[in-house]
Amino acid sequence: MSLASDQARPGAAEKPTLYKRIRLDIETRILTGEWPPGHRIPFEHQLMARYRCSRMTVNKALSELAQADLIERRRRAGSFVRRPQHLSAVLKISDIRAEITALGRSYGYQLIDCRRRTATAADRARLGVSTAGKVIAIACRHSADNVPFAVEDRLIDLSTVPEAATADFAHEPPGSWLLHHVPWTEAEHTISAVVADDRTAKALDIAVGSPCLVIDRYTWRSARTVTAVRLHYPGETHRLVARFKGG
Amino acid sequence: MSLASDQARPGAAEKPTLYKRIRLDIETRILTGEWPPGHRIPFEHQLMARYRCSRMTVNKALSELAQADLIERRRRAGSFVRRPQHLSAVLKISDIRAEITALGRSYGYQLIDCRRRTATAADRARLGVSTAGKVIAIACRHSADNVPFAVEDRLIDLSTVPEAATADFAHEPPGSWLLHHVPWTEAEHTISAVVADDRTAKALDIAVGSPCLVIDRYTWRSARTVTAVRLHYPGETHRLVARFKGG
DNA sequence: CACGATTATATGTCTAGACATATAAGTCAA
DNA sequence: TTGACTTATATGTCTAGACATATAATCGTG
């Protein structure tokens, strides 16, 4: 209850808005363990009194904490510090070109194969569609500073993205093209490990039998399949980093 | 996964609160592409008129959309549909016991090795600490239906979690113990692929040279290191799935 | 004691205002 | 044309109320 001393500290940073201060105060207490899981947070009217503000203001702070799953709010009972069930991490998977250039390395792209065809049974299974429309199948390679970085094997559903028929995948990687032409998709990623087969090893310039990290991404847009892609990364050099948020 | 939480009534869905309806309306327009990236969303006072409500109500809807990075709000200019920079996926990494039992399989746990020691230089480097306190080093194995599921190699910093000294890791996996005794940590995960060495292959009952998915997790709690753990999964059978959220 | 009905209360949502503030856009001078 | 100044405006935050609603606690009854 030693809260009343937060007023106008001379060295303190720019005063943020009040609701943000309330939110940060509570968040800090939770994260430091001062308020452990199950602990009941002061009622809204108590926080109103402590911070001398209206209920809407503390409500905004608490609502955001609830949205972030840090607290649980129960009618009539109060708000409680949550115990997280499973730790979840946010994994950022950039466009490969962006990822490489962000590292300050030169990006290289080679189209290995690109063909347009009517979807085979295998294509339909991979895209999760039942009708046999046209698709584009692409194999290509990404490199950083002229060292192979990843090989890509992709299928694009032309019935969802007809514009892709006219795209020039000889010079622009399909991932970048799709990112700029098909916004706001949803995706599911599956990450696994394999050893490089002959073809993959050759494309990545690694030994057959080397470990590879595989990312399968299946992308859709309001219930319509956009693309399915499989990326092979050399597992000894490439790492996926996911950070933050846990319990 | 269910699409919506609509009540039994097929005709008129149980009216959700107004701000949620506004948020869903806008979200739908964005996700279906009716409002593409860069599109300016109606001003708050226009939405007030359209939904016949106060500004605070539309503000709440728009604020949540902004928090979800679906729109960008600019003073004086308005609110705009964002173009996502990189697709980020939420990767849920459960406690292994919970993950296995959730699959309806029987969970098994074998402690391979557990020793308490003063942190060696290697331990300190791995934990990212400079002082040489006590640590616990644990090697153990998780199995599902008596088939090896993952091997774990963990270091716990006893200066952060002194209670761990009295925990019985012979019967309780350290991950579960920590989950229940050290709430609200933060973590960083690194995912990579390797081929199984002799020791790992034996523990997982796979062939030497088989692919393995490796997860390194480094966990801390308000600037204090809690634990560092490395998990090896047989790469051919185990998959990490990350879903949702993209562009 | 068990169990259903009642009540008290904390949260959930909403209103009709208010002032603050960043900034796009327009204005004017050099 | 350019740069500095002004203005209009959309968002950001906040208030002091209101009623709705779920539910923990209490009370009453069998």
pLDDT of B183? 86
Q: Which of B26, B50, B81 is the last residue of a domain?
A: B81
Predicted complex: ipTM over 0.95: no
Token pair in block for residue A219: 């992308």
Assign A202 to helix, strand or coil.
Answer: helix
In a domain, B13, yes or no: no
Q: Is residue B11 part of a domain?
A: no
| Residue B102: inside a domain | yes
Q: Are residues B166 and B136 in the same domain?
A: yes
| Same-domain pairing of B43 and B123 | no
What's the domain range around A220?
90-243
What CATH number corresponds to the domain at position A184? Answer: 3.40.1410.10
Domain boundary among A81, A103, A126: A81
> Residue A95 has what pLDDT?
86
Do A222 and A120 belong together in one domain?
Answer: yes
> What residues in B contact A243, CB-CB < 8 Å?
187-189
Q: Is the CB of A171 under 7 A from strand D?
A: no
Question: Is B117 contained in some domain?
Answer: yes
Give pLDDT tens digits for A128-176: 999 989 999 999 999 999 999 999 999 999 999 999 999 999 999 999 9
B98 touches chain A (CB under 8 A): yes
User: What pLDDT digit, counting tens, does each position of A13-64 carry?
Assistant: 467 899 999 999 999 999 999 999 999 999 999 999 999 999 999 999 999 9
CA distances for A172 relative to A30, A175, A178, A203, B176, angstroms: 47, 8, 10, 19, 47
Q: Answer yes or no: do A91 and B89 touch at CB < 8 A.
A: yes
Does at least one atom of strand D sit less than 7 Å from the CB of A221?
no
Residue B6 lies in a domain: no
On whether both A23 and A104 belong to a single domain, the answer is no
Is A136 found in the same domain as A26?
A: no
Give A64 CA → D17 C1' in Å.
23
Question: Which of A235, A88, A32, A174 minimizes the C-alpha distance to B160?
Answer: A32
- State the amino acid at position B16 in one-letter form: P
Q: Is residue B5 part of a domain?
A: no
> How many angstroms separate the CA of residue B83 from the nearest CA in chain A?
7
pLDDT for res B174:
97
Number of neighbouring beta carbons within 10 Å of residue B54: 11
The C-alpha of A192 sits at a distance from chain B's nearest C-alpha, in angstroms, of 5
Which chain A residues are closer than 8 Å to B84 by Cβ? Answer: 183-184
B176 and B105, same domain (yes or no): yes
Whether the pLDDT of residue A74 is over 50: the answer is yes
* Cβ contacts of A242 within 8 Å, gap of 6 or more: A89, A90, A91, A92, B91, B188, B189, B190, B191
Q: Which residues of chain B have pLDDT under 50?
A: 1-13, 247
Q: Supply the pLDDT for residue B245.
A: 54
